[in-house]
Amino acid sequence: MKQRRLGKTDMYVNPVGLGCMGLSHASGTPTPKEEAVKILQEAHQIGYNFYDTAECYTGINPDGTINYNEEIVGEAIKDFRDEIVLCTKFGVTHKGDHLELDSSPERIRKSIEGSLKKLQTDYIDIYYQHRIDPHVEPEVVAGVMKELIEEGKIKAWGISEVNEDYLRRAHAVCPVTVIENRYSMMARWYEKLMPVCQELGITYVAFSPLANGALTGAYQSKNDFGNGEQDFRPNMPQYSDEGIKKTNELLEVVNQIGQIHQANSAQMSLAWMMNKYDFIIPIPGSRKIERLKSNFEAGNIELSQEELKVLDDQLDAMEFKVFGGH
């Protein structure tokens, strides 16, 4: 599997990265800690070497304690820390149904110490600003990142859900290595950033690349999740009756080409973006080893220009309502 370079750094990773969020956050009751640690260790055996977590990925355990995703990731990777690229994020706290944003220098300084401790490490490879804070200028955030790089606490930095103007301003102060924005067959509004990434030599990390699972075809009703109240998925527009019907129409075309490659629809959804852009890295998440394995293997699928065109033409002819939509 050909590795992909992260921005202009000397860090290279396999083409499919690992989203760790769902083990603790947004996908229902958190996976029991020991089981979650085992899943993340087995993922390393499969070949994953690009791990994505965040300070705010938390959930409530059945005994009422807080489940910190960073703690699970830290416990899992401690024996192979230097073999992976470890990413975490600052600047967001979940407050009920809204996000509290704080990227002030004081808050970033506090956050990084907490993340290093939970992750059981003394450096973070990629430190992301999780969301733009309207009260803090990009130059200020980039200035703090520059200091953290000089201090050896982080190797590089990135921004999540960024727009072009903010990215250019931040990049001018301290070069940005990666951006992490939503991107999938059903969420293509950031395609306008692809030329900017190419121009600046920035890697695009695609989060929720399976449209929160919709593109796998595994969920045929919003009642299919059954993992308790902490699951955000049943309320997402792609899981309305109309959303599922549209997804199935798309997956018919996806699966026709998938048959040629003996690939399932999740693999095809990932292969589609990796074949379109050599600077993109999807980070799908799953709590199931077999799915992690299958998703990882999508990095081997080569699609022809004709196949990509059939898929793109189909996508251009459809409109989707997806969680996080613009």
Ligand X SMILES: NC(=O)c1ccc[n+]([C@@H]2O[C@H](COP(=O)([O-])OP(=O)(O)OC[C@H]3O[C@@H](n4cnc5c(N)ncnc54)[C@H](OP(=O)(O)O)[C@@H]3O)[C@@H](O)[C@H]2O)c1
**Site for ligand X, rule CB under 6 A:** 19-22, 27, 52, 130, 160-161, 180, 207-213, 216, 218, 266, 283-288, 291, 294-295
Shortest Å distance, C-beta 78 to ligand X: 19
Shortest Å distance, C-beta 149 to ligand X: 21
Q: Which of 12, 48, 51, 57 is catalytic?
A: 57
Strand order across the 124-129 sheet:
18-19, 50-52, 85-90, 124-129, 154-160, 178-182, 203-207, 280-282
**Active-site residue flag, 128:** no
Nearest residue to ligand X, scored by beta-carbon proximity = 19
Taking alpha carbons only, the member of 42, 69, 16, 18 closest to residue 286 is 18
Q: Which is nearer to ligand X, 288 or 309 (CB)?
A: 288
How far apart are the C-alpha atoms of 182 and 194, rounded to whole Å? 13
How far apart are the C-alpha atoms of 87 and 52, rounded to whole Å? 5
Q: Which is nearer to ligand X, 30 or 305 (CB)?
A: 30
Q: What are the Cα distances from residue 174, in Å, to 92, 108, 168, 322?
A: 21, 16, 10, 33
Shortest Å distance, C-beta 150 to ligand X: 25
Q: Which is nearer to ligand X, 64 or 134 (CB)?
A: 134
Q: Which two tokens stand for residue 157?
A: 């930095």
- 74 CB burial (10 A radius; 0-12, 13-18, 19+): buried
Shortest Å distance, C-beta 305 to ligand X: 25
Q: Which is nearer to ligand X, 19 or 175 (CB)?
A: 19
Catalytic residues: 57
